[in-house]
Amino acid sequence: MDDGLIDRLLQDLKNPDDAIRDRATAALWQIWFNQKGDYGFEILGQSQALLEAKQYTQAEALLTDLIGDQPDFAEAWNRRAVLHYLQGNYERSLSDCQQVVKLNPIHFGALHGMGLCYAALGEYVAAIQSFRQALEIQPYALINQRLILECTARLN
């Protein structure tokens, strides 16, 4: 990955202009999805189609095979985390999100996902920490700001 480009995109996420932030967000997702070239991108697409068809077992098998082949492919771990979350398997989703962040510490999607998992598990302090980490990368992400407030309210 081009570290200079990544740094510029991360700076753009902090720009007050919505359009600049949106372009930077889309560009980062594109980089992450294309980390392993056409092969990885195609498998991610197939898994998404299976997920949308509610064929969760097949989607999980596909992603697990991809992770086995490409264990450093952060987005494969992230897509499997999404799958687990949608099935209510919050501990498994959280574990995959944590692996994403180990591989790609700036992955705001996985940090957000960790917060969602912690919140679903009733671990509101950890959820707040995860949402705050995501906000350090994407300070204008209103969803994370709102979720911090909701989790804070549940602490009282």
Q: What is the pLDDT of residue 1?
A: 57
The answer to whether residue 12 scores a pLDDT higher than 80 is yes
107 vs 155 pLDDT, higher one: 107
pLDDT tens-place string over residues 54-82: 999 999 999 999 999 999 999 999 999 99
Share of the chain above pLDDT 90, in %: 96
What confidence score (pLDDT) does residue 3 get?
83
Ordered by where they begin, the domains of the chain are: 105-156 (1.25.40.10)
DSSP string spanning 63-82? HHHHHHH-TT-HHHHHHHHH
Quick check: 156 pLDDT over 80? no
* DSSP assignment of 19-50: HHHHHHHHHHHHHHHTTTHHHHHHHHHHHHHH
User: Mind listing the pLDDT tens digit for each residue in 80-137?
Assistant: 999 999 999 999 999 999 999 999 999 999 999 999 999 999 999 999 999 999 999 9
